[in-house]
């Protein structure tokens, strides 16, 4: 015999449905509580906070100190929900300190631009942060979180470290608070001529120009010395002209006769 649920809880609280239909099966997505009973996390489509969830499932955290509820997966901008958000079936979503980890298709931070599933963390109020890149072409999903909230394990196809040689295969990464190690990024090719050729050389000083050759100092009267004609030329009307050798040749021929 199938159980009958009140209309207010049928299909809006997965934990109630699973607990009734599968009472002997434990599922992390039903309901999670911290060991000290301070916090509890669960999923429901009931509007437990002043937020328009449009009938979609959201993750809420219950605080026993103030007997209050807060929506962990709701958009900080209060933008209406477009997708369901549920607890992970594989492990913890709720750390002992009350931090909530989850997977969402909503863009809860500005850096999430891929419109895919991404892993997130929430620490109360408006303190929401993305764990996966938010820029992948594929979905990334939360696997589990450590009890102290230091480690968040998630599935992704992204290559996030140099040692990952698995390409686009699905693998599990650990996002560790204040952890990780430095990655040596590959040097990108230069994009402009200045970057490709490096800094330019300094401009050389202007050469010293001296119009007088040799030891040459100007005479006392400030006039340049007279220029001499090269061999085979004579000065005539202030110009160097070739010597006229006709008379000289005649003279040599008469002497030989």
Does residue 240 sit within a domain? no
Name the pTM for this structure.
Answer: 0.62
In this predicted structure, the answer to whether residue 98 has a pLDDT above a threshold of 60 is yes
pLDDT class of 147 with cuts at 50, 70, 90: very high
Does residue 219 sit within a domain? no
What pLDDT score does 30 carry? 84
Span 112-137, average pLDDT: 93
CATH code of residue 153: 2.40.128
At 121 the three-state DSSP class reads: strand
- Convert the pLDDT of each residue in 214-243 to its tens digit: 555 555 555 556 667 877 777 777 778 777
Does residue 139 sit within a domain? yes
The total domain count for the chain is 1
Does residue 253 sit within a domain? no
In this predicted structure, the answer to whether residue 8 has a pLDDT above a threshold of 50 is no
Does residue 242 sit within a domain? no
Does residue 216 sit within a domain? no
Does residue 137 sit within a domain? yes
What pLDDT score does 4 carry? 38
What pLDDT score does 189 carry? 66
What pLDDT score does 224 carry? 56
pLDDT class of 7 with cuts at 50, 70, 90: very low
Residue-by-residue DSSP string for 11-68 = TT-HHHHHHHH-TT---TTTEEE-TTSSEEEEEESS--SSS--TT--EEEEEETTTTE
What is the number of other CB atoms lying within 10 angstroms of the CB of residue 82?
12
Average pLDDT for the chain: 79
Structural domain containing residue 141: 1-179
pLDDT class of 33 with cuts at 50, 70, 90: very high
In this predicted structure, the answer to whether residue 176 has a pLDDT above a threshold of 70 is yes
Does residue 11 sit within a domain? yes
């Amino acid at each position: 015999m199938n159980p009958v649920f009140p209309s207010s809880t049928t299909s809006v609280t997965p934990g109630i449905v699973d607990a009734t239909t599968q009472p002997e099966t434990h599922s992390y997505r039903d309901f999670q509580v911290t060991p000290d009973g301070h916090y509890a996390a669960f999923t429901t489509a009931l509007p437990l906070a002043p937020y328009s969830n449009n009938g979609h499932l959201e993750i809420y955290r219950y605080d026993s100190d103030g007997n209050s509820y807060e929506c962990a997966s709701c958009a900080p901008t209060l933008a209406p929900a477009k997708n369901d958000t549920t607890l992970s079936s594989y492990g913890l979503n709720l750390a002992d300190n009350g931090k909530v980890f989850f997977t969402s298709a909503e863009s809860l931070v500005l850096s999430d631009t891929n419109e895919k599933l991404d892993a997130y963390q929430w620490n109360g109020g408006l303190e929401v942060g993305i764990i996966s890149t938010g820029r992948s072409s594929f979905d990334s999903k939360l696997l589990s979180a450590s009890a102290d909230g230091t480690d968040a394990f998630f599935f992704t196809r992204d290559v996030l470290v140099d040692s990952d040689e698995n390409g686009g295969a699905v693998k599990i990464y650990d996002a560790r608070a204040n952890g990780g190690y430095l990655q040596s990024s590959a040097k990108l090719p230069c994009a402009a001529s200045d970057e490709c050729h490096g800094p330019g050389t300094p401009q050389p000083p202007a050469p010293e120009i001296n119009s007088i050759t040799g030891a040459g100092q100007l005479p006392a009267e400030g006039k340049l010395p007279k220029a001499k004609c090269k061999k085979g030329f004579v000065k005539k009307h202030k110009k160097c002209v070739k010597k006229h050798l006709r008379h000289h040749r005649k003279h040599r021929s008469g002497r030989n006769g």
